[in-house]
Amino acid sequence: METWDAIRARRNVRQYTDQPIPRDHLERILEAGRRAPSSSNWQPWDFVVVTDREQLVELAKAWPQGGRHIAQSAATITLVGREQEEERQRSWLYYDFGQATANMMITATDLGIGSGHSAVVDQEQAQRVLGFPDGYFAVVMIGLGYPADRPLRPILNPDRRPFDEVVHWDRW
């Protein structure tokens, strides 16, 4: 897929087929995250990949309301960061994790793989399942799998605010 097509085709996919994701495609998605830009290139992330069904079911319990798709995913990548004391560092961390997430999701789309965010509300549950050290926290989970609803194709009319409302040329 062309980059422009992948950007337009990406959407949150929350229903997946049983088809597993080949290891080299998972690695490409992870590599796209690793290559993301970050503040002063501090690369504040670790990625924990889960493909085991029982572990995915347990991981989904970290956000029972919005993370149900994690239990059904073929794989889920959890982006883990260090807790930050300073507000400024925290805001950079979230910005950088957003960029890594977007890189991974666009790359997944390019491979025909659906992706869906889930917040992490129960950090203790995430830590129990994933085993990351104290002082770290799970920022977001990205469920991955081949879409069970419809294939990924560029969306002609996305559910977005109008272009002219969002964009300000020269001055607001």
Q: Residue 89 Cβ, how far from ligand FMN at the closest point, in Å?
A: 18
Virtual CA dihedral for 97, 102, 107, 111, nearest 10 degrees? 120
Given the rule CB under 6 A, which residues bind ligand FMN? 11-12, 14, 63, 66-67, 116-119
- Answer whether 130's CB lies under 8 Å from 76's CB: no
Rounded CA gap, 10 and 104, in Å? 11
- Indicate the DSSP class of residue 41: G
Q: Residue 61 Cβ, how far from ligand FMN at the closest point, in Å?
A: 13
Q: Residue 12 Cβ, how far from ligand FMN at the closest point, in Å?
A: 4
Q: State which residue, 23 or 57, has the beta carbon closest to ligand FMN.
A: 57
Classify the C-alpha dihedral 9-14-16-22 as positive or negative.
positive
Q: State which residue, 161 or 171, has the beta carbon closest to ligand FMN.
A: 161
- Amino acid at residue number 106: I
Q: State which residue, 88 or 161, has the beta carbon closest to ligand FMN.
A: 161
Classify the C-alpha dihedral 109-146-114-148 as positive or negative.
positive
Q: State which residue, 119 or 128, has the beta carbon closest to ligand FMN.
A: 119
Residue with tokens 């080949």: 22
Residue nearest to ligand FMN (CB): 66
- What SS3 class is residue 140? strand
Q: State which residue, 11 or 25, has the beta carbon closest to ligand FMN.
A: 11
Residue with tokens 């770290």: 136
Q: Residue 106 Cβ, how far from ligand FMN at the closest point, in Å?
A: 12
Q: Residue 116 Cβ, how far from ligand FMN at the closest point, in Å?
A: 6
